[in-house]
Amino acid sequence: MTKFVILLTIAITFSCSFAGILGPDLQKAMQGDESEFAVMISFTEDVKVGDIMEYYSGMSKEEIFDILKNECEQKQTFIKDLCQRMQLEGYVKDIKVFWLANAVSLTAKREAIEELVMQPEVHLISLDAIQSMIQPFGSLDSAQVPWGLEYIKSREVNAKGFTGQGVTVAVVDTGLDTDHPAFSPQQIRTDLCKSFVPGEPTVEDGNGHGTHCAGTVASQLYGVAPGASLIGVKVLSATGSGSWTAVMEGVQYSALHADVISMSLGGRANPNGNVVEDAVENAIDNGIVVVIAAGNEGPFMQTIGTPGCVKKAITVGAIDNKGELAYFSSRGVSVYLDPKPDMVAPGVDVLSAWKNGGTNTISGTSMATPHVAGLVALMLSKAKGMKPQGVKNILMATTNGTKKENWYGEGTVQCDLAMSKVGTDLGTLEVISERNQNSSTVKIEAVTDSNGKLSVIKTMPANRRALVQRVFCNARYTNFQLSVNGKNGWEKGVGEVEPRTNYDLGQQIVTEKGEVTFKVEAENGPKNSKVKIMISCRHNKLPAEVAPAPQQRVAALARSRTIFFSGRTDREGNLNITQDIVLNSNRLILDMQCNAAYDEYQVTINGEAVWEKPVAELDARTFYPIQKSVNSGSITIKVEGKNGPKNNAKVKFWFRSQ
């Protein structure tokens, strides 16, 4: 099994203040001569399906995903705009935006990475390294029959009429031989099969690994669930390699179209996590069962790969035909200290379909995983509405139970026992997603009057400071007003407040420890109806409680195409910072941007006022044209503003050599 990306930190190109934003793989890569790097960017604010579902009931999978897309889109707006700007200037290319996890991937030059690492929205920039399938092992014995089907008793269940009918399984792998005779006509959803591998536009499998896994899931000759539909999702090339970006695209696509996702791929896990793990968790929280190979890093302990280390995923190890753990099967615990794998299944000398209409007998946890994915399809064909955690509960409670070490999980899956429990209370348990420790949401429920008017006050304890950021409603209103501790937080006096839309408060409202009171008033909402309002708060990166002296001089990244400097406003929110830099060539200063809004803003270069906004407010994160030529040598830039936030101030000037 080749290694997936591990999350990173840098100390060579950037100051130590950015350590933890970049990771060791990228740091190592940037020590070489390469001029550009494929990277994955994750954001400081997570977007969790579990949080969305906590406040909305009765919504469909599609509706939940729509809200998730909207949340990610809003949180990514600034970085996406910044990347598109850098793309026009030739510093960035291949931008891809994700929504199943709050992430963006792109190929960036060094200067662009220097720019991105300074953005407060960016949590981590990791190398989008080459990945591969979990490499199988050659046959130990030439299997003539798929012994695994008999071992887990899937054929007994098939004989009773449960074949996975009505269930769709996405196999995220090297593709699928869509013309293979082992599959029945119309079983493969060719209309949904898709490739995310550059240079390989069709889903056809040039490797064989994906076809082998799909054959164990649902083929007529070798499959656990021969009545299930299959979607081939190609994220790995004919050589078995790919990228995090392709895997993310494949998981995201599968979540929209499948009931079950089978992933026989993975890499070395890191306790800091990665965006694919976030995507897998969001898919599971929205009702998709995800089955993942544990990895082939045995016999060593604590070798569970990623994304198989996701706690809510069904992680599968491999056994041989005697019920003994395969020597190569990865052992627990996971990097998060969770018991893994969850269970084991046949994974040694497994006969199944292969590319070009052939067959092959190979070994690996890759081969064990589709046995369990097929069993999940059988379970869902009996009770389509089962939740992923309910499915997992049944599987873990109905193994043969002969092995209890972390090596085996709960034991070997048994189709007949699992199917006997489908529909019982055992399958109704759910796990609520763990909440982000850096953010929280206040839920206010109320009932409108006969005219659709809303007026509600909610007072609650606060055990820590919070920055009140956004408001979100489940109904349409006019004349909406939110106040926080008696201060106006946000209002929309004329236009309508749209349902299921996040509205930023647009100003820094910080609540202190102790008690906080929210008041919401609105008109023309639904009449005599129970309504919900969500108020999002952040607990990290808050404004400082006491501001230091207002004027500071700090070091510049003068070698970059961006002049970046920072300081602190005073107690009244006034900004006055000065920067001395040395330019090695004549430059044209194109634009200016700052991270907060101010009044009476002025920029001075070498004593000359080059730009000012005396009355109207300067908006945060908006590019303002400067168009000022400066000669090489030492220059002094001074920035002044009034009525800004009482916190850190950051200012950037974009420039180009002349």
Could you give the residue numbers annotated as active site?
A: 173, 209, 366
Task: Read off the tokens for 232.
Answer: 């081939």
Task: Read off the tokens for 9.
Answer: 């930190």
CB 306 within 8 A of CB 267: yes
Task: Determine the Cα–Cα distance for residues 636 and 165; give it in Å rounded to an integer.
Answer: 72
* Beta-carbon contacts of residue 561 (< 8 Å; ≥ 6 apart): 91, 111, 115, 654, 655, 656
Task: Determine the Cα–Cα distance for residues 483 and 489; give it in Å rounded to an integer.
Answer: 5
Q: What are phi and psi of 279, to 5 degrees?
A: -65, -40
Provide the β-strand partners of residue 316: 293, 343
Handedness of CA 101, 102, 107, 110 (dihedral sign): negative
Quote the Cα angle for 286-289-294, to 5°: 130
CB 326 within 8 A of CB 426: no
Q: What are phi and psi of 392, to 5 degrees?
A: -65, -40
Task: Determine the Cα–Cα distance for residues 568 and 579; give it in Å rounded to an integer.
Answer: 13
SS3 readout for 525-582:
CCCCCEEEEEEEEECCCCCCCCCCCCCCCCCCCCCCCEEEEEEECCCCCCEEEEEEEE
Cβ neighbours, 10 Å, residue 198: 12
Identify whether 271 is preceded by a cis peptide bond (ω within 30 of 0): no
Task: Determine the Cα–Cα distance for residues 217 and 650; give it in Å rounded to an integer.
Answer: 54
Handedness of CA 598, 600, 603, 606 (dihedral sign): negative
Residue carrying structure tokens 């008017």? 453
Task: Determine the Cα–Cα distance for residues 157 and 31; give it in Å rounded to an integer.
Answer: 57
CB 410 within 8 A of CB 253: no
* Secondary structure class of 438 (helix, strand, coil): coil
Quote the Cα angle for 381-282-253, to 5°: 70
Residue carrying structure tokens 């910072």? 577
